[in-house]
Structure 1
Amino acid sequence: MKIRVAARGSKLSLAQVKVVTDYLNSQGIETQLVEVKTRADLFSTAPLHKLGKGVFEKEVNEVVLRGGADLAVHSMKDLSSEMANELEILAMPKREVPLDSLVGKYELERLEPGSKVGTGSIRRKNLLKFLRPDLNVVDIRGNVDTRLSKLNSGQYDALILAEAGLRRLGITASRFTLSPLDFTPEPNQGIIAIVGHKDNTRLREILKELNHKETMEEARAERAVVKLVGGGCHSPLGVLFKKEGSKLEGIATYSDGSKKVTVTHSDSGVPEVVGEALARKLLKEMKNEGIIP
């Protein structure tokens, strides 16, 4: 049996694919990579928010829909809530550390005024502007290696990157993880999503042991917040849930750059219901602060 796996060709994407193919190979299953170029790869210098939704996922999923691959592997945070009806997330491996990290020589509070900090995320930009309005926050695109080379050449004083990506790539650069209360991560950060046809029960069964129940519950709760508040990689919304015993412990943050609202919520039960409760708390505080009417 051979399983064809569709994914982008970036180093980080391939590191995520390896998590899946290593598992499949351990089950005695041969795998084949189907590399896909996406709009985000073709327009690698354009700001992400200008490329629209689904820039990292659409073309990859279409390969599965056309029968050119059996599975698609994505960063869960890049998956929109509007997948084709025929497709479904079949499994999620255990989540990597979901936090943001400041990459550079100094911690955030020790950066000198005017220091140039690179990020391509509106959420991270707004949080930086709120916490350190004296910094020079500059847009940056490109893969992790490209960004790190710009940091090392002195074009930037620091970068903000996902700790999960740095770990998956084995990068040991000097860095400081950021508190989720200050820098609540992007929803579903650190999670790998394995997508396939809904009716492919054989693949679902094969992936059953790789699927991590707590990670899937965290992902479901976080996506429930996004559904109510609105979010994704083009939004200043941060959401993080952690399964602790029977409870889901959640943090949600929204910042427009001049104001920042952070709320927490803890409860057991259906992840979507817990997520919706956190979302309602956040929306209430956003209204109180005048961020929304």
Structure 2
Amino acid sequence: MKIRIASRGSKLSKIQVDMVGQKLKELGIEYEMIEIKTKADIFSNEPLYKLGKGVFEKEVNEAVLEGKADIAVHSMKDILTQINPNLEIFGVLKRDPPNDVLISDKNIDKIESNAIIGTSSIRRKNFVTFLRGDLQVKDLRGNVDTRIKKYLSGEYNAIIVAEASIKRLNINVKYFRLNIYDFTPEPNQGIIVVIGRKKDEELKKIFKKINDEDTLAEALAERAAVSILGGGCHSPIGVLFRKEGNELFGIGSFSDGKRKITTIISKSGDPVQIGSELGLMLKKEIKNEGIIF
């Protein structure tokens, strides 16, 4: 048996496919990668928020729906909270560190005024502006290795990326892990997800063996919170859940650059219900501040 895996063609995407593929090989199953170009790849110089939603996933998922591939592998933070009704999440790998990191010689509190920080994320931009209004934030697009090259060339004094991407690419660069209260991560950051067709029952059974239950609980809670808030990968919202024993500890943050709101929850139970509760709490706090986003 050979499973065809659709994914973007970036270096990181290929590594993520191989991470899933290694799990399949342990089950005695072969795989091949089907490389797909997405809107984000074609318009690689445009800021992400200008490209709309689903820019990293749409074409990849379409390849699965059209039968060109059996499954799709994504960074879970890139997929919309509502996926095509004919598709579903088959499983997730064990989560890598979810934190944002600052690639720089100095941590965020030590960087000199007017330094240029690179990021294409509104969430990261607003968190930087709230924490250090004296810094300049400049758009930064491209694959992770491309972004790091731009930093090393001196175009930026520092850049912010996901720690998981640095780990997976095995890049040796100095960085500082940003704490989850100042920089609450993007929902599902650090998670690799497998998506397939609802009707493919045999494939579902295979990926159930690979799925990491604790990571899936965190992922579902985060997605539920975002669904309540109406946010996504281009919104100024950070949500992180961590499974600690039987409890889910969650933090949700919003910033418009001038104000920052953070809510916390810790309880056991259904991840979707707990995530929804956090989303409602944060939504209420945002409304109380008179903020419309």
TM-score (norm: length of structure 2): 0.98
3-state secondary structure, aligned to 1:117: strand
Partners in 2 of 1:82 and 1:229 — Cα distance?
13
Instruction: State the AA in 1 paired with 2:38.
Output: T
Where structure 1 has 5 or more consecutive residues not aligned to the other structure, the ranges are none
In structure 2, the partner of 1:270 is 270
**1:235-288: per-residue Cα shift (whole Å, max 9, x none)?**
000000000011100000000011000110111111111111111211222122
For 2:287 and 2:91, how far apart are their aligned partners in 1? 37
Give the deviation of 1:81 after TM superposition: 2.3
1:17 is paired with a residue of what secondary structure? helix
Aligned to 1:56, the other structure's residue is in SS state coil
Deviation of 1:207 after TM superposition, in Å, equals 1.6
Matched, 1:152 2:184: no
Q: SS state of the match for residue 148, structure 1?
A: helix
Which residue does 1:210 correspond to in 2?
A: 210
Identity, in percent, stands at 54
- CA-CA distance at 1:231 after TM superposition: 1.4
What is the aligned partner in structure 1 of residue 60 from structure 2?
60
CA offsets per residue over residues 2-41 of structure 1, 9 Å max, x none? Answer: 1100000001111111111111122221111100000100
Aligned equivalents of 1:82 and 1:276: distance in 2?
15
1:197 is aligned to 197
Within 5 A, what are the aligned runs for 1:157-196?
157-196=157-196
Residue of structure 2 equivalent to 1:235? 235
How far residue 83 of structure 1 moved from its aligned partner, in angstroms, is 1.7
Counterpart of 1:127 in structure 2 is: 127
Aligned to 1:224: 224
Summarize the alignment of residues 25-40 of structure 1 with structure 2, pairs less than 5 Å apart: 25-40=25-40
Q: Which moved more, 1:143-152 or 1:79-88?
A: 79-88
Q: 1:209: how far off?
A: 2.2
Matched, 1:138 2:150: no
Number of aligned residue pairs: 293
Query: Which amino acid is 1:213 matched to?
Result: E
Q: Report the residue type matching 1:242 in the other structure.
A: R
Query: Which of 199-208 and 217-226 deviates more?
Result: 199-208
Alpha-carbon distance in 1 for matches of 2:101, 2:44? 22
Query: What residue is the counterpart of 1:11 in the other structure?
Result: 11
Deviation at 1:158?
0.3
What is the Cα deviation at residue 82 of structure 1? 2.6
Structure 2 segments unaligned to the other structure (5+ residues):
none
What is the distance in 1 between the residues matched to 2:82 and 2:221? 17
Q: Is the 8 A contact 2:81 2:226 kept in 1?
A: no
Q: Secondary structure at the match of 2:109?
A: helix
Q: Which residue of 1 aligns with 2:258?
A: 258
**Which position in structure 1 is the counterpart of 2:106?**
106
- Residue 44 of structure 1 aligns with which residue? 44
Q: CA contact under 8 A between 2:81 and 2:232: conserved in structure 1?
A: no
**How far 1:289 moved relative to its partner?**
2.2
Distance 1:166 1:248 in 2: 26
C-alpha distance after superposition, 1:168-216 (max 9, x if no partner): 1001210000000110000010111101111212111112221000111
Amino acid at match of 2:246: S
Secondary structure of residue in 2 paired with 1:208: helix
Q: What do you get for the CA RMSD once the two structures are aligned?
A: 1.0
Supply the distance in 2 between the matched residues of 1:80 and 1:281 (Cα, whole angstroms): 22
Q: In structure 2, what residue type is equivalent to 1:171?
A: I
